[in-house]
């Protein structure tokens, strides 16, 4: 349960002044969507990072192969 503090009348309350229902703090749909989108962005960024590492490894392996076998470069063109 949350407590509201009014800066105007300087009172604290745990319930609605009109209906006397307890005040509850609820997450709204946009907040949930923002959290999900941030998590998905982090996940996608991590996958891109792993893909770039794999690409760099493949390029290094390719360069090593081409240094050992220069005739392969001529056959590629």
Predicted model pTM = 0.55
More confident residue, 51 or 18: 51
Specify the pLDDT at position 62. Answer: 93
Which H/E stretch holds residue 12? Answer: strand 12-13
Most confident of 8-12, 26-30, 44-48: 44-48
Specify the pLDDT at position 70. Answer: 84
Specify the pLDDT at position 10. Answer: 66
Distance CA 20, CA 39 (A): 38
């Amino acid at each position: 349960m949350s407590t509201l503090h009014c800066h105007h009348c300087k009172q604290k309350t745990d319930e609605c002044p009109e209906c006397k229902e307890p005040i509850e703090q609820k997450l709204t749909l946009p907040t949930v969507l923002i959290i999900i989108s941030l998590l998905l962005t982090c996940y996608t960024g991590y996958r891109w990072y792993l893909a770039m590492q794999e690409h760099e490894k493949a390029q290094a392996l390719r360069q090593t192969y081409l240094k050992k076998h220069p005739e392969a470069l001529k056959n590629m063109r």
